[in-house]
């Protein structure tokens, strides 16, 4: 490889030929950083792991010495050596669980950095202590460990390593990429990215800043399922504005039908766009309305089925009965709690599934979920837009950056990506270079 005489060590712990659980370490002498800190997820497991021990045993998380909370007792994983690192930090690119789910297992003495937007969203989403894996014996009683929120393009120093935290276009509010500078290398990590969402200019600015870097570590989710030259828009809508247009038309063309939807809660920008452009009144469930309010300050209309106090404005509340009965005025979120009432919904209505759970056929819950709508004569409409760059766009991102070495990860088929300007390196799990 062109970089063989460098002193920077890069270890690819996990998340390479799979989507989730990216854990990469960059070390220089006594300083090191990690990104990200989520877990792999296997919906087909008979029982989902609930502790760090179970995650490690199921090989959904990789064991690394001196990074986990020492209060967690583990059997079968021993720290063999004294910790040679004086400076350690973890960076999280965005709020999606495959990048964050185990941050409460991180040693409380190790700082965890992310953009301010991701920090506030994580704290908000974890209000019921069920978004992240819960902390073990927290002394301060908080659900979420301390996170350091940084500003757009702020540079964080971790010993001799400097990390610029740059906003990036993805379907999670507050997403970032990292531009990492060690004394002898520049490494760009995209996190999850795209150029067809609400902030393509952020992705372009990241590309510009990363130009000619030594190593580009890029996600390759879309090439897991599509060829590089496949038609854009084959799977889901072309881009976020096209998706929004389609939803508007669907609502306009069905004035008499009960219309419901669900989306992924971290996609704050999509729901704000929907609220602004939809011909009907958009009504969220209380938890989603709370998340929107915390992220943007906006008071959305909501209904409430649980008894948690989210501190929402009372005059924005719509009775759930009203949503069931009035089939013409509202476009409302059919959240998991509300699906129980599907028997009371209008036969002949429409439900729109917009990147909500269950996500797709790989989840055994997906087909029964669809069948339930059919059984109640409710039309199931899939209206999704990927958070991940289309295959051609991934190549154009690589072409913009012109890295000396390309490392595609976060993909079932990382070998599909190519580098017109240098080498491609496909690391093995656990490999250090």
Query: Which spans of this chain sit near Zn ion (rule: CB under 5 A)?
Result: 96, 98, 192
186 vs 386, beta carbon nearer Zn ion = 386
CB atoms within 10 A of CB 268: 25
- Distance separating alpha carbons of residues 266 and 111, to the nearest angstrom: 23
Q: Return phi, psi of residue 414, to 5°.
A: -60, -25
Minimum CB distance to Zn ion, residue 379 (Å)? 29
Element (H, E) at 34: strand 31-35
- Choice between 404 and 416, CB closer to Zn ion: 416
Please, which residue, 190 or 258, has the CB nearer to Zn ion? 190
CB within 8 Å of 409: residues ≥ 6 apart: 12, 15, 16, 22, 24, 217, 218, 219, 220, 427
Residue 162 has φ and ψ, to the nearest 5°, of -115, 140
Report the C-alpha gap between 192 and 168 in whole angstroms: 8
Of residues 336, 332, 345, the one with CA closest to residue 251: 332
Nearer to Zn ion, 69 or 98 (CB): 98
Least separation in angstroms between CB 97 and Zn ion: 9
CB of 317 to Zn ion, least distance (A): 32
Q: Count Cβ atoms below 10 Å from residue 271 Cβ, excluding itself.
A: 27
Nearest residue (CB) to Zn ion, 25 versus 40: 40
CB of 99 to Zn ion, least distance (A): 6
Bond before 358 cis per omega within 30 degrees: yes
Closest to Zn ion by CB, 96 or 164: 96
For 113-149, letters b (16+ CB in 10 Å) and e give bbbbbbbbbbbbbbbeeebbbebeeeeeeebbbebeb
Q: How far is the CB of 255 from Zn ion (least distance, A)?
A: 36
Among candidate residues 171, 113, 102, the one with its CA nearest the CA of residue 146: 113
Smallest gap, in angstroms, from Cβ of residue 410 to Zn ion? 6
Calpha distance 410→116 (Å, rounded): 24
Q: Least distance from C-beta 72 to Zn ion, angstroms?
A: 25
Angle at alpha carbon of residue 108, lines to 103 and 111, rounded to 5°: 75
Q: Please, which residue, 95 or 283, has the CB nearer to Zn ion? A: 95
Q: How far is the CB of 96 from Zn ion (least distance, A)?
A: 4
What DSSP assignment string belongs to 53-78? HHHHHTTSS---TT-B-TTS--SS--
In the complex, least distance from residue 226 CB atom to Zn ion, rounded to whole angstroms? 16
Residue 294's contacts (CB-CB under 8 Å, 6 or more residues apart) are 120, 121, 124
Backbone angles phi, psi at 343, to 5 degrees: -60, -30
Asked if 218 contacts 24 with a C-beta cutoff of 8 angstroms, the reply is no
Strands (E), 248-404: 259-263, 281-285, 301-303, 330-333, 350-354, 379-382
Q: d(Cα 332, Cα 320) in Å, to the nearest integer?
A: 10
CB of 176 to Zn ion, least distance (A): 11
Question: Which is closer to Zn ion, CB of 174 or CB of 403?
Answer: 174
């Amino acid at each position: 490889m062109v970089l063989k005489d460098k002193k920077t060590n890069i270890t690819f712990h996990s998340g390479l030929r799979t989507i989730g659980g990216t854990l990469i370490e960059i070390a220089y002498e006594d300083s090191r950083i990690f990104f990200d800190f989520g877990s792999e997820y296997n919906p087909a497991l008979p029982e989902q792991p609930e502790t760090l021990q179970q995650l490690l045993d199921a090989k959904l998380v990789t064991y690394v010495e001196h990074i986990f909370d020492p209060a967690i007792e583990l059997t079968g994983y021993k720290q063999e050596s004294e910790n040679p690192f004086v400076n350690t930090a973890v960076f999280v690119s965005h709020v999606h669980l495959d990048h964050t789910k185990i941050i409460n297992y991180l040693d409380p003495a190790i700082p965890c950095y992310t953009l301010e937007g991701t920090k506030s969203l994580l704290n908000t989403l974890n209000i019921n202590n069920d978004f992240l894996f819960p902390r073990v014996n927290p002394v301060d009683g908080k659900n979420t460990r301390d996170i350091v929120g940084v500003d757009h393009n702020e540079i964080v120093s971790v010993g001799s390593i400097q990390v610029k935290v740059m906003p990036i276009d993805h379907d999670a509010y507050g997403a970032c990429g990292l531009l990492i500078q060690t004394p002898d290398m520049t490494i760009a990590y995209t996190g999850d990215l795209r150029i067809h969402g609400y902030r393509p200019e952020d992705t372009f600015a990241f590309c510009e800043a990363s130009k000619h870097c030594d190593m580009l570590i890029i996600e390759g989710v879309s090439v897991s399922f599509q060829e590089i030259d496949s038609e854009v828009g084959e799977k889901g809508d072309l881009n976020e504005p096209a998706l929004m247009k389609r939803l508007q038309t669907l609502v306009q063309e069905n004035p008499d039908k009960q219309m419901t939807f669900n989306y992924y809660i971290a996609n704050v920008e999509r729901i704000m766009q929907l609220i602004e452009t939809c011909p009907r009144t958009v009504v969220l469930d209380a938890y989603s309305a709370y998340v929107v309010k915390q992220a943007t300050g906006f008071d959305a209309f909501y209904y409430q089925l649980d008894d948690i106090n989210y501190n929402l404005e009372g005059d924005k509340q719509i009775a759930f009965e009203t949503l069931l009965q009035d089939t013409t005025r509202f476009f409302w979120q059919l959240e998991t709690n509300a699906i129980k009432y599907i028997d009371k919904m209008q036969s002949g209505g429409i439900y729109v599934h917009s990147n909500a759970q269950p996500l797709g056929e790989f989840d055994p819950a997906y087909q029964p979920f669809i069948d339930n709508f059919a059984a109640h004569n409710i039309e199931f409409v899939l209206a999704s837009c990927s958070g991940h760059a289309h295959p051609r766009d991934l190549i154009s991102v690589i072409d913009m950056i012109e890295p000396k070495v390309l490392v595609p990860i976060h993909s079932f088929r990382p070998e599909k990506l190519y580098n017109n300007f240098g080498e491609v390196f496909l690391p093995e799990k656990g490999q250090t270079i």
